[in-house]
Structure 1
């Protein structure tokens, strides 16, 4: 059974992470299948925009930490976490968020061009609570779209922030009733898909260039301070503590 389901119709693609029992946590299979879905999106001239969502009332809980402790990484070389955070599609992407968008799940949402979220949805970068770092673009993108102090609070405390608060700052485009995020995203996507596909694609490219929203040089540069963290004993301890439902014992090594 596929971990990512796809739908292509009326100029719009819908990608659904389908691991509800794991809160749609991303493992290697999800990353590979999302990358393949993006490749199909890029090939198809009849599709000009995509929606990314999660099954079962949760967008994505981030990296599958149990898989991480087994040495499995949810990345695709050159594409990043989930197969798209470092190299999102050249066509616009909308994140339709229900429930939680945490850690890498939040970073998947931030890699989208637009976000539609249910009123009770929550976003967060809790990596620091696990001895890890938000390395999939969250630390690069948040300061571009939020005041620096608020971005720092979210990233350094690891505490969640609600969709309505992010809507106040323009991070979330549209707030819907609970359960209505995908329908809201479809409505927004239809408005964009009605426009000239070449113009839409070029417009996204220039917008991203203007703010360096997807800059491979930045992803390369951040590896200098971040790689030692992922190789540390604390990183393994944080993931194990989460899996074992206990408080971590940090050593600073």
Structure 2
């Protein structure tokens, strides 16, 4: 199991938990963190025993955005991390879920600050849980910068455009309740319980057929920008093969026998 000094990787049953671990900097992104995230996403993809991923932050914050000094490797990251970035100049975008979509469902558990790069990474997750006092926002324009982590493309596809533009153009903070009201997050829970709720959702996903879950996720994303006619055709291409799997037969048999199914990814 991987990880770095700024990114921890743990298993909770069939769930892989990736935790941003730089609490003294409100989990500002660093090169060790990005390398750890990149490797964590790939580990989850490669391990068939992993059925879901929970993405969270340590110390009461999710992520406060990019740490440019750390990204440049000035006195914080070891040579091996700088070598990784040189070997794959796209590594940081994959780590931030801009240029990579894990095939397993990703559930975000947000406490505290989830701003700038934090809100950008959030848009690459599938299901989102926020603690009551969590804070969201894209602050880049206030600093004369551009939210280049994908927000000008993704945000308007995930929430109504008027809310997306207000968030992008004002750079103001949003409370968890406000984020839920505009559809950026799906659950608001008491402080300190976001991870518990995310793991609860993950456990429900883990109890489902893994081939079906992955096919459903893939279908949702690949048809999002299609016409309805093209999307329905693509859905059949994804969906029909699932019915021919041993897992599909096990699911229906278990239902008839009134017992929990035992899925084997077959």
Give the C-alpha shift of residue 212 in structure 1.
Answer: 4.7
| 2:169 corresponds to 1:156 | yes
Q: 1:175 aligns with which of 173, 177, 188?
A: 188
Instruction: Give the RMSD, CA atoms, in angstroms.
Output: 2.3
Alignment correspondent of 1:26:
29
Q: Deviation string for 1:141-170 (max 9, x for gaps)? A: 110122211111100111111111121233
Give the C-alpha shift of residue 76 in structure 1.
Answer: 5.5
Q: Secondary structure of 2:203's match?
A: helix
Gaps in structure 2 of 5+ consecutive residues: 227-266
Give the C-alpha shift of residue 57 in structure 1.
Answer: 0.2
Alignment correspondent of 1:6:
9
Alignment correspondent of 2:199:
186
Contact kept? 2:108, 2:127, Cα under 8 Å: yes
Distance 2:156 2:100 in 1: 19
Distance 1:70 1:30 in 2: 12
> Do the aligned partners of residues 182 and 116 (structure 1) sit closer, same or farther apart at CA in structure 2, a change above 3 Å counting?
same
Higher Rg: 2
Q: Deviation string for 1:194-227 (max 9, x for gaps)? A: 10111111111111112259xxxxxxxxxxxxxx
Alignment correspondent of 2:142:
129
Contact kept? 2:18, 2:56, Cα under 8 Å: yes
Alignment correspondent of 2:231:
none
Q: Secondary structure of 1:106's match?
A: helix
Give the C-alpha shift of residue 40 in structure 1.
Answer: 1.0
> Do the aligned partners of residues 10 and 76 (structure 1) sit closer, same or farther apart at CA in structure 2, a change above 3 Å counting?
farther
Gaps in structure 1 of 5+ consecutive residues: 214-253
Contact kept? 2:15, 2:50, Cα under 8 Å: yes
Query: Under a length normalisation based on structure 1, what TM-score does the superposition of the two structures give?
Result: 0.78
After superposing the two structures, state which structure 1 stretch, 138-147 or 114-123, moved more.
Answer: 138-147
Contact kept? 1:86, 1:136, Cα under 8 Å: no
Distance 1:85 1:30 in 2: 15
Describe how 1:1-253 pairs up with structure 2 within 5 A: 2-67=5-70, 77=90, 80=93, 82-212=95-225
Give the C-alpha shift of residue 84 in structure 1.
Answer: 2.6
Contact kept? 2:31, 2:71, Cα under 8 Å: no
Instruction: Give the count of matched residue pairs.
Output: 213
Alignment correspondent of 1:220:
none
After superposing the two structures, state which structure 1 stretch, 129-138 or 76-85, moved more.
Answer: 76-85
> Do the aligned partners of residues 152 and 51 (structure 1) sit closer, same or farther apart at CA in structure 2, a change above 3 Å counting?
same
Structure number with the bigger relative contact order (C-alpha 8 A, sep ≥ 6) is 1
Contact kept? 1:26, 1:82, Cα under 8 Å: no
Contact kept? 1:81, 1:136, Cα under 8 Å: no
Q: Deviation string for 1:82-133 (max 9, x for gaps)? A: 3433212111101100001011111111110010000111111001112211
Give the C-alpha shift of residue 66 in structure 1.
Answer: 3.2
Query: Under a length normalisation based on structure 2, what TM-score does the superposition of the two structures give?
Result: 0.74
